[in-house]
Amino acid sequence: MRKINISEIKEEPWRSPRGKYAVSFKGISEALGRDRGSFDLAKRHPFDLEWNRIPPGKSNFPYHAHSAQWELYLIISGEGSLRHKDGITEVVAGDVFNFGPDEAHQLTNSVSG
């Protein structure tokens, strides 16, 4: 068993070149021993878990989908808007949602700077 506290993981900020998109990550899977470069399933977990923080007024990434990847989101704090194939849904702390392969999505922190 491996255990780590989220407070022990370094927060890594990311911004798109023009600053339209921004998010900070904490690589929970890597902190628990995942080897991102390995194809050995004993070293590469069958899932990834990340902690993300989206700055006020920013979106995490452009509207996008993944061909083979599922994504699961749990909103811990704040509020935002979720763009998806059926439109836009407001999300708040406590909301949980997921996207399967080829389901386009984008998450935006609705709070202004």
Q: Decide if 58 is inside a domain.
A: yes
Q: How many structural domains is the chain composed of?
A: 1
Q: What is the CATH number of the domain that holds 42?
A: 2.60.120.10
Q: Decide if 51 is inside a domain.
A: yes
User: pTM, whole model, 2 decimals?
Assistant: 0.86
**What pLDDT score was predicted for residue 61?**
96
pLDDT in tens, the chain (113 residues): 889 999 999 999 999 999 999 999 999 999 998 888 887 877 777 788 999 999 999 999 999 999 988 899 999 999 999 999 999 999 999 999 999 999 999 999 998 76
Q: Could you tell me the residue range of the domain that residue 62 belongs to?
A: 10-109
Residue pair 2/33 in contact by the 8 Å Cβ criterion: yes
What tens digit of pLDDT does each residue of 21-52 get?
A: 999 999 999 999 888 888 787 777 778 899 99
Between strands 79-84 and 105-109, the pairing is antiparallel
